[in-house]
Structure 1
Amino acid sequence: MTVVVVGAGVYGAAVTASLTERGAHVLLVEAAAAGGGTSGATFAWTNSSGRHPRPYHDLRVAGMEAHRRLAAAVPGSDWYHESGNLEWVAGDDEREKLRTRVAGLVARGYETQWLSRAEVVALEPGIAPDELPAAEIVFFPREGWLEPARLIGHLLASSAARGAELVTGDPVTGLEIPAGGGFSVRLASGRRIAAEAVVNCAGPQADEIARLAGLDLPMRNTRGVLVRTAPTAPTAAAAVPVSRVVRAPRVHLRPDGSGGLLLHSAEIDRALGTSDTGEISVAPSAVEELLEAGRTLYPGTRPAAGATDAAGTAGTAGTAAHSVLVGERPIPTDGLPVLGRVADLPRFHFAVSHSGATLCLHAGDLVAAEVLGEDRGEALAAFRFERFRPPGG
């Protein structure tokens, strides 16, 4: 069976790997570079500690388990880091919400621990104790983070070894459905690919690919900002003083896998601006505020005197070399994934969601199985495209 997978981010790579493992011939088509879209600008935190409907929570937990299995099965795997997540909040109202959320997670059997300030400092010696509350710091030990580029590289390499073809820099511009069934996929280069099935893993552009198939996929994509710092030591192998995901009131941060840090906050997302010409930018003051919040929480991340910026020039005290990443998050309008076949077009499949880093391996495998005729109706029932259609539509 020949399948065209559209989009070579974490979802497209995972679906392709699962399809080829099952014996399908796959052409993975990417408009730009593999992993260069949303997957290249994501916090990549694997978790299910939010307030999610039960089917979505269970899907995310299964996604976390799929990452554990793959990492354990591949010798030398270096992309998955299950080091846990520390979280605390400021203010009585927020603390009450956190207590309620944690109680709900405990009731679902999700592994959770309440820690004191001293216990957190023992876990994270580089953290500033006076930045922590005395208690009510929650630790989710089975959560972690990914290095998406390395995961995608592994999945694509294993797929190529089983005959998959990767086509990059050539967007899909048309889908035709011949009278005999299947699809004719037209690319910008003029190439046409005959396929028996198509899987839409196009992330923020998933609605555009859906329209080519005559489908209306409602999306409410948002842009997110990450700040990546340069390595804090001369060699990338040197450890940063942060060991895990840390979600503090003013900054969320984690190691980036190359000796630096990845930082995020809701405030820096709000600092995004778009010029009259469509150019996207982030206020430098917001970037500096986020960096300073990270330095305050982890004093060991402050650059040494005389440190230089990314251009090699001397910076002001406390300024580290950094880069700003802006990514577009693919979010269906109800916030839930869209997965699996379309009832009226059963050879057209979706694998689209926010939190692709958590879900990609498990959800991608479910979708791949369904493409090849296996029954995954029970697992995918809550995530079908048809939920967006009006009754009787």
Structure 2
Amino acid sequence: MLTHVVVIGAGVYGAAVAAGLTRRGARVTVVDAGAPAGGTSGATFSWTNSCGKQPRAYHDLSVASMAAHRRLAAEAPQGDWYHEGGNLEWAEGEAARAGLRAKVAGVLDYGYEARWLDRADVLRLEPEMAPAELPPDGVAYFPREGWIDPAGLIGYLLATAVSGGAEVVRDDAVTGLEVTAAEVRAVRLASGRRLPVAAVVNCAGPQAAQVAALAGLVLPMRNTRGVLVYTSPVTVAVSRVVHAPRVHLRPDGDGRLLLHSPEIDGAAHPAAGGGYRVDQSAVDRVVEAAVALYPGIRAATVRGVRVGERPIPGDGLPVLGRAAELPNFHFAVSHSGATLSVHAGDLVAAEVLGEDRSAELAPFRFDRYRS
């Protein structure tokens, strides 16, 4: 058994990897420059899906990951972070409608659950939508999709890891990796602490490239920003993820709603004192679109605006598993971490401890960037 594994990052991936490692008997330290769930995992739309993901291996990994969420939520004493209410999506303009038709045809060809609804069908599912905002037909419905509460999931997974003996170190950034003879020997932290290791797992999300560089590895990343708007509690029943042309929204627990639109992602700008500022006009537009769709939420106020940095590897696909040139350095980095983390994180944990997961991980290895 490996004597000590350091997991860098305490988001959804880091928590899932740590839980998988401790369940298999490893001694684990999870380290994060901030607080658990304080980075991207705390500012994400967290939509669980495999809706149009390509190539087929990525789709299959996502479907297996959705099933892993269901199992974990069913097994956990309080699996209330997982919400499988389905996803409704429609488009405006012929080009966008053609794209949606192609997406639905593609997932149906893969055996993924999807069907077309008309306006009356949608109103039976979401009766408080404004009928005039819906097309007469052509609404795609993906019934097995949903959303997670990332903080709840991370809390459960880290508690599982800690009960198995893991240590969680917060507010202590990784500043160096000691590498000799093609092996990581130790992790150095900003506090001055030095952690001897048998293996390291890079779950650092948007900072994954910087952590990889400490090990002498070049990980291409093309991170993007995402702006999320959080409302006050509303007295309107919104039961599903909704992707309308001008607003994406979902429930966020305790009557709150989470709003997003790709159009406002560009309205986030670096602030002088750190962090980001978001143009108020962009926030107003996404709220207005939500009110047009659900008139009953007109009295809602904006309780918060968060900007998350989405970690996206250079080719858009996950980076998972060991690096061939540094075999005790492992990756668990991707976009769509809310969907993938429980399953993919466990696959990575299994490989760290010597299990053969080549069949599942081969399409996603870091080494594709070396060829």
TM > 0.5 between the two? yes
C-alpha distance 279-44 of structure 1, shift in aligned 2 (>3 A): closer
Aligned pair partner of 1:351 in 323, 332, 345: 332
Q: Distance in 2 between matches of 1:128 and 1:277?
A: 41
2:203/2:332 contact within 8 Å kept: yes
Answer yes or no: is the 8 Å Cα contact 1:241–1:298 preserved in 2: no
User: Structure 2: how far apart are the matches of 1:274 and 1:292?
Assistant: 25
What's 1:56 paired with? 58
Task: For residue 177 of structure 1, report the CA deviation from its aligned partner.
Answer: 2.5
Of 21, 32, 35, 2:34 maps to 32
What is the match of residue 229 of structure 1? 231
Question: How far is the alpha carbon of 1:76 from its aligned partner?
Answer: 2.7
> Which shifted more, 339-348 or 48-57?
48-57
Q: TM-score, normalised by structure 1?
A: 0.92
1:171 and 2:173 matched: yes
Number of matched pairs: 369
> 2:177·2:184 contact (CA, 8 Å) conserved in 1?
no
Query: Which residues of structure 1 form unaligned runs of 5+?
Result: 234-239, 304-318
Aligned to 1:236: none
Question: For the residues of structure 2 that align with 1:269 and 1:299, how far apart are their CA atoms?
Answer: 24
Q: SS at 2:200's partner residue?
A: strand
CA contact (8 A) 2:182 2:326 kept: no
- Are the structure 2 counterparts of residues 284 and 188 from structure 1 closer, same or farther at C-alpha, using a change threshold of 3 Å? same
Assess if the C-alpha contact under 8 Å between 1:178 and 1:184 holds in 2. no
- Corresponding position of 1:266: 262
Residue 330 of structure 1 pairs with residue 311 of structure 2: yes
Distance 1:191 1:122 in 2: 58
Q: Which amino acid aligns with 2:29?
A: L
Give the aligned partner of residue 311 of structure 1.
none
Q: What CA deviation, in whole Å up to 9, does each residue of 1:124-145 have, x standing for no partner?
A: 0111111000001010000000
Q: After the TM superposition, which segments of 4 or more aligned residues of structure 1 sit over 4 Å from their partners?
A: 178-182, 275-279
**Distance in 1 (alpha carbons) for counterparts of 2:275 and 2:67:** 40
Structure 1 or 2, whichever has the larger Rg, is 1
Q: Which residue of 1 aligns with 2:93?
A: 91
Q: 2: CA distance between counterparts of 1:333 and 1:111?
A: 29
CA distance in 2, matches of 1:121, 1:353: 35
Alignment partner of 1:177: what SS?
strand
Three-state SS of the structure 1 residue aligned to 2:321 is strand
Counterparts of residues 288-307 of structure 1 (less than 5 Å): 288-303=284-299
Deviations along 1:262-319, one digit per CA (max 9) or x if unpaired, are 000011102222357765211101101100100110011111xxxxxxxxxxxxxxx6
The question of 1:250 aligning with 2:246 is answered yes
| TM-score, scaled to structure 2 | 0.97
Q: Is the 8 A contact 1:220 1:332 kept in 2?
A: yes
Match runs of 1:1-393 below 5 Å: 1=2, 2-178=4-180, 182-232=184-234, 240-274=236-270, 280-303=276-299, 320-389=301-370, 391=371
CA contact (8 A) 1:85 1:141 kept: yes
Q: Distance in 2 between matches of 1:274 and 1:33?
A: 21
The residue type paired with residue 259 of structure 1 is G
Instruction: Give the alignment's Cα RMSD to 1 decimal.
Output: 1.4
